[in-house]
Structure 1
Amino acid sequence: MILLRTFLLMLSILPFFGCSKQQQPPPQERAAGLPEWVEGTSEPLPLKKSATPAYLQVQKTASVIRPEPLRKIEALEKLNPGLFSALPQLTELLRTAEVSPKFKSFYDAKISALAAGESMSTDDYFDCATVLHLTAPTTGRKAVLFQSDMDVDTDGTDPVRLARLQDYDDARISRSFQPLLAYSWAQSAGQQAANPFVQYYADTLTKLRTLHKQVSDEAAHDHGYIWQSVQKQFEETISALDRRAKYYDEDLRTRRSLVGSLDPFIVVPQTWPDRLKLPFSVQVGDFVAVIAGGKVYPCVIGDTGGDAKMGEASLKVAQAVNPKATGRNSAADNVTVTYVIFPQTRLAMAAPDLSVFQSEVARLLEEIGGLGTGTTLHRWQ
């Protein structure tokens, strides 16, 4: 008997016959739950098959929607009201804009993850509406614009500015917290400070190993599932923390980095930065203007993340956009935020001077036409 399992990926299902791409259904036949901005093509998605017994044959096929990148100011303005007023020259810039190859590779990564069995919500899948290369006609200034949501990054430690473990309590509530960012710099000889996470990791490992011994003693006398399971969980946790402590140990002792609660930065996919020095090559440290709710925030690229994840900003930026944002609550769930990166503009990485962020982003914005009347660049406190 053949069991056919249909895998529904937020979209309509089409049997796979090796056919070519098919146009997405007209609006009246759109799959329920698709974001309003999404137009695209539906392409076959062969799913990775898990091992099954000989008597059971499972056929897994699906189709996935690959969105078309937005290119018109009307579409971007609809997602981010006030964008045109903030950047009035954007209409002119979009006339000659080119879709970045990064947009295709980004959705390639998402589709590969789905084929391998990863699950994503609709909002997580459609978290980027476009990536465009912009060139100002008069100055030649290059910019990379992408439209996305805004999740919160609480990562980073700097023992010179925040010396106590308690200073990071709001950051550590995030399950993905990391103590160092790609934007980091060496401690100066005259300003050495002990990073609290060096001792914290050591103390926590000691406590976990003590508790693990107690659990192991119980498991030795009680062979039931409960103690065996708890013992295994302790072993996995200790192993993971030990690896993290060893990985970060030297850098935590010698380096400082941006801090999510103190510094305005964004995160881009790890495949974006490169050393090619091409006109639209971006690097950690490049300056960025973030436009949300009619306001413009000066930032830098502070870190890189997963290949299939877009739209992440430091806690400082996120709470300026949405005061309710935390390490567990996003600042914007939908693709309502516009990010404009200025490639190859980074300065030497050092303790951040937010007045420099302000002046550099202001200068770069002027090179692509400047801000609109009544729009001012946010000044960080």
Structure 2
Amino acid sequence: MFKRPDPSLTPMDQRGPSPWQSKKQSQRGSVLGNLIRFLLLSIIAILLVLPFTPFAGRIKNGLKELIAAAQEERTKIITQEVEKRVEVPTQIIKEVVKEVIKEVPAPPPPLPEGYIPRKEVDVSTFYNGITIETELLTEQGTYASLERLDPDAYKAEFKLSVRVPKANQELKELSRINSQLPTLLPGLQAMLPTAKVSGFYHRLYENKTNGIQRDITRLNRILDRHNFFDCETILEMTHPTTSRKVLLIQSEMDVVADGSDGDRMATLDEYIYMSDYYQPFTSYAWAKKTQTPNPLLARWEERLKKAKEQFNVKGLSADRNRELKALISQLGLEIGEMKARSSLIAEKDPFIVLSLLFRGYPANKHTPNMGDYAVVIHEGKMYPAICGDYGPSQKMGEASLMMAKTINAKASPYRRPESDLKVTYVVFPGTAEKPNSPPNLDRWHEKCASYLQEIGTDNAGQMLHRWEDPFKKPEPPPTALGGVATDPATTPPATPGVDTTAQPGVGTTPAAGMPAVPAPATPPPADLPAVPATPTTPASPSTGESGVTPVTPAPANP
């Protein structure tokens, strides 16, 4: 019967002992197993007995030291450099994208196949108000190496178109410039029928056009529009009744600041003589009256000294030596003039400037000269003056700084009082008094009023502006009796043969029936102080009943 195998046995166990295993091998295995068992039992026995032996404490301490050493090795601190990353906040920049629409450039024009002649015209305006029209003409020429030798191949032709103004000579046109002119000069209506446009007017614009032609040919700066049209008219007139000759000019007013006089003004404002156009002299001048030097004499002598020092330097060019030589000669003449003569002072004296074109025509009875009396009319006022200086031959209308500042307080050596053609200059030719003398403003007022009356202005004395003498000395205080206290230091010495105790018109009352003696036509000599005019004393009963009114003399300026 078949025996079922035991499931708890492995296949090897189920097979039983190997028939090939020997008996010796079985014995060797049992001896080795016994030896291992003995060793294990010995170790266990030693471990159990060891705590009760003297070696137990040493073993225990040794084990503790081993454990402590092992722990120290575990807690050893190791230092290492570690990179630390710090986050820094940064500003967030937002990028804004703008859409830009760009035009696609047009393709360049096609290159020309050959030369194309053309004519182009361009118009512009210069700094001086002149309208410029240029015309460019081009034409086909020959080779460049040949054309550069021909002067006509590259040239410019200038054509300047200028309209010369017409002079007005009718009362209507004169009144258009100044509507009050017929009232101020009622005699115009009587003089205009025989008046004529002066040849000086035509010569003025002839000088202007000639100067423009000369300058434009040399490509120099030409006369500007403002100064070309600076004169409305120049009329030669004669009053039919008195035969008084008049030269009437309508223009603008430029400013002159020239002149110096040490006798009357020992110092001069720096802003005057530092001007680029300042001159220490005027054409109207007279012999010095005192030893007071000209205020600019020292300055001119210093300039002469420096010019001589530069001239003595070796190695200068011929042109520079020529310039210095001319400068030394000019300064020498001017220094001599300063020492010998005095001039008008534009800052203190009212005078007008004549154009140089008036010089050289003595045969013309309407030619004005230095010292001739003149009246300046602006708006509704009239100002007495004289012709005191000459100016450029291409310009018209100029007066002293004193006259300019009276007409317009904002005037200066660099600013006109009147830029429009609204100033009328009434000049009386042939009225200059000889010899030349220092200004006497009261005398000028008297003479200008007299000449205005001769041409029909009856109330000229009241209508004329009266200038204040800028150099007038203060009046001495009156005495208790109504007279004038006289300073012995300023009392003039008695002149032999002349009785000065009782002269009518000099601080005394004329006797009854005696005609009043008019004021002298000329001022007293400069070396003697003038006798000041004194108030007229009250009339005595006898003179008061006679009906004769004492005449107060015109004060004389030193």
Query: Shared topology, TM-score over 0.5?
Result: yes
Match of 1:92 among 159, 167, 190: 190
Match of 1:72 among 170, 175, 184: 170
- The residue aligned with 1:192 is 291
Match of 1:362 among 425, 449, 455: 449
Q: Post-superposition shift, 1:282?
A: 1.6
Any unmatched runs of 5+ in structure 2?
1-116, 136-149, 216-220, 469-558
1:181 aligns with 2:282: yes
- The separation in 1 between residues aligned to 2:133 and 2:239, in whole angstroms, is 43
CA RMSD of aligned residues (A): 3.5
- The residue aligned with 1:330 is 416
- The residue aligned with 2:72 is none
- The separation in 1 between residues aligned to 2:405 and 2:265, in whole angstroms, is 19
- The separation in 1 between residues aligned to 2:269 and 2:326, in whole angstroms, is 20
The within-5 A match list for 1:180-329 is 180-188=281-289, 191-204=290-303, 242=328, 244-274=330-360, 276-329=362-415
Per the alignment, do residues 91 and 123 of structure 1 end up closer, same or farther by CA in structure 2, a change over 3 Å counting?
farther
Q: Post-superposition shift, 1:195?
A: 1.3
- The residue aligned with 1:139 is 242
Per the alignment, do residues 278 and 205 of structure 1 end up closer, same or farther by CA in structure 2, a change over 3 Å counting?
closer
User: Which digits, 9 at most, give the CA deviation of each residue in 1:360-381, with x for residues without a partner?
Assistant: 0000000000156996100000
Per the alignment, do residues 373 and 306 of structure 1 end up closer, same or farther by CA in structure 2, a change over 3 Å counting?
closer
Q: Post-superposition shift, 1:86?
A: 1.3
Per the alignment, do residues 252 and 363 of structure 1 end up closer, same or farther by CA in structure 2, a change over 3 Å counting?
same
**Secondary structure of 2:394's partner?**
coil
Q: Post-superposition shift, 1:308?
A: 0.3
The within-5 A match list for 1:21-32 is none
- The separation in 2 between residues aligned to 1:373 and 1:202, in whole angstroms, is 46
Q: Which has the larger radius of gyration?
A: 2
Letter in 1 for 2:180: G
**Secondary structure of 1:361's partner?**
helix
CA contact (8 A) 1:7 1:62 kept: no
Q: Post-superposition shift, 1:115?
A: 0.7
Letter in 2 for 1:332: E
TM-score by length of 1: 0.76
- The separation in 2 between residues aligned to 1:13 and 1:91, in whole angstroms, is 44
User: Which digits, 9 at most, give the CA deviation of each residue in 1:204-249, with x for residues without a partner?
Assistant: 4556898x89xx9xxx9xxxxxxxxxx9xx9999778645422312
User: Which digits, 9 at most, give the CA deviation of each residue in 1:66-93, with x for residues without a partner?
Assistant: 1100112222222223222211222332
- The residue aligned with 2:200 is 102
**Secondary structure of 1:103's partner?**
helix
Per the alignment, do residues 92 and 372 of structure 1 end up closer, same or farther by CA in structure 2, a change over 3 Å counting?
farther
- The separation in 2 between residues aligned to 1:136 and 1:11, in whole angstroms, is 43
Q: Post-superposition shift, 1:54?
A: 6.0
**Secondary structure of 2:371's partner?**
coil
- The separation in 1 between residues aligned to 2:462 and 2:131, in whole angstroms, is 40
Q: Post-superposition shift, 1:169?
A: 2.1
Q: Post-superposition shift, 1:120?
A: 2.3
User: Which digits, 9 at most, give the CA deviation of each residue in 1:226-285, with x for residues without a partner?
Assistant: xxxxx9xx9999778645422312111100011101111111111213462532122110
CA contact (8 A) 2:372 2:427 kept: yes
CA contact (8 A) 2:122 2:133 kept: no
Q: Post-superposition shift, 1:13?
A: 6.8
Letter in 2 for 1:109: N
CA contact (8 A) 1:294 1:375 kept: no
CA contact (8 A) 1:182 1:303 kept: yes
Letter in 2 for 1:92: A
Match of 1:346 among 432, 439, 443: 432
Match of 1:124 among 216, 227, 237: 227
Any unmatched runs of 5+ in structure 1?
16-51, 221-230
Per the alignment, do residues 275 and 111 of structure 1 end up closer, same or farther by CA in structure 2, a change over 3 Å counting?
closer
Per the alignment, do residues 373 and 277 of structure 1 end up closer, same or farther by CA in structure 2, a change over 3 Å counting?
closer
- The separation in 2 between residues aligned to 1:92 and 1:11, in whole angstroms, is 42
Per the alignment, do residues 375 and 69 of structure 1 end up closer, same or farther by CA in structure 2, a change over 3 Å counting?
farther
**% identity of equivalent residues:** 31
**Secondary structure of 2:183's partner?**
helix
TM-score by length of 2: 0.53
CA contact (8 A) 1:150 1:333 kept: yes
CA contact (8 A) 1:87 1:371 kept: no
- The separation in 1 between residues aligned to 2:372 and 2:419, in whole angstroms, is 25
- The separation in 1 between residues aligned to 2:460 and 2:452, in whole angstroms, is 14
Q: Which has the higher strand share?
A: 1
- The separation in 2 between residues aligned to 1:83 and 1:12, in whole angstroms, is 38
User: Which digits, 9 at most, give the CA deviation of each residue in 1:281-314, with x for residues without a partner?
Assistant: 2211000010002100000000111110111000
**Secondary structure of 2:301's partner?**
helix
- The residue aligned with 1:112 is 210
The within-5 A match list for 1:31-42 is none
- The separation in 1 between residues aligned to 2:228 and 2:242, in whole angstroms, is 36
Q: Post-superposition shift, 1:61?
A: 1.4
Q: 110-119 or 236-245, which moves further after superposition?
A: 236-245
Per the alignment, do residues 269 and 133 of structure 1 end up closer, same or farther by CA in structure 2, a change over 3 Å counting?
same
Letter in 2 for 1:180: F
Per the alignment, do residues 192 and 209 of structure 1 end up closer, same or farther by CA in structure 2, a change over 3 Å counting?
closer
